[in-house]
Structure 1
Amino acid sequence: MRDPLPADLFDELCPSSLNPIRFGDKWTALVIRCLEDGPRRFSELRVPLSRVTPKVLTQSLRALERDGLVIRTVRPEAARHVEYELTGLGRSLLEPMAAACAWTAEHWDQLLDAREAHDAGTRLDRAG
């Protein structure tokens, strides 16, 4: 049995919320991160991805499946059991995603300052 995904895997101070590098749609990187340790059911994904509506999560999973990054498997049990799992192609994104997350964590303060300055209508110097 797999360990459950922690509900706070993506808390509000998670660097992923500031990461300017996008992998697919807004939620793709988070879904991929949830699947990095093996297959998960939709209900398991909903725990750390509680900010994502079920409809949008379904759309993200379908897009990942269409792009060949995720495989959807229906298990033939009494109660229908569907799991989502990264393909080899999907797993190949884990390393670049880790690099993007490390970069974001390293530049966290600069990213926050830039967003605050932009929202306040001021400009930062070019050196950043």
Structure 2
Amino acid sequence: MITRARAVLALVLGLAAPAGIWVLWFFALTAFGSEGALPPKSRIPDPPPGASVVEESEQCGSGGCWWQVTLAPAAGQSPAELARRMGLTEERSLPPRLLDPGYVYVGSEARGDHLVVHVGYQ
């Protein structure tokens, strides 16, 4: 028969192992996140109704890798208005999540009639 102490120990170890893995993953992303790692696509902000995705790609350079999403604003809307509506007038940082423990930056820039959104690890 399993004693209460063994059941508690099993529960603690069962919770500690995933927590330890998450902490290691967090530190790995913090230390090396900009070296080729991409955040999951779920970290890319959804375009509001009326706007559409023109292109989505992975980009890499000397500073690491990031998602680049080109959006077409809704009819009669400028790229600057779309950026304001999405809360992307300035680059911002998104906190870690349970399934993605890294800090993520999200920024945008107007290019012609489109808004280009960048998402990557900090």
- Structure with max Cα Rg: 2
Please give the TM-score of this superposition, normalised by the length of structure 1: 0.23
Which one has the bigger strand percentage?
A: 2
Which one has the bigger helix percentage?
A: 1
